[in-house]
Amino acid sequence: RSYGTSNTRWLPATIMETLGPKMYRVLLEDGFITRRHVDQLQSHCRLPECFTQKLPKSKS
DSSP string, the chain: ---SSSS-----EEEEEE-SSSEEEEEETTS-EEEEEGGG------SHHHHHSPPPPP--
pLDDT at 26 over 80: yes
Is 59 within a domain?
no
Average of per-residue pLDDT across 34-40: 93
Q: What is the pLDDT of residues 2-17, one digit of tens each?
A: 666 566 778 888 899 9
The reply to whether 4 falls in a domain is yes
Predicted structure pTM score = 0.65
Q: Which domain holds residue 10?
A: 1-43
- Identify the pLDDT of residue 57: 66
Domain assignment present for residue 60? The answer is no
With respect to residue 53, please indicate whether it lies within any of the assigned structural domains: no
Q: How many domains does the chain have?
A: 1
Q: Which range is most confident: 1-5, 26-30, 55-59?
A: 26-30
Considering the domain boundaries, does residue 56 fall inside one? no
pLDDT greater than 90 at residue 22: yes
CA atoms of 2 and 4, how far apart (whole Å): 6
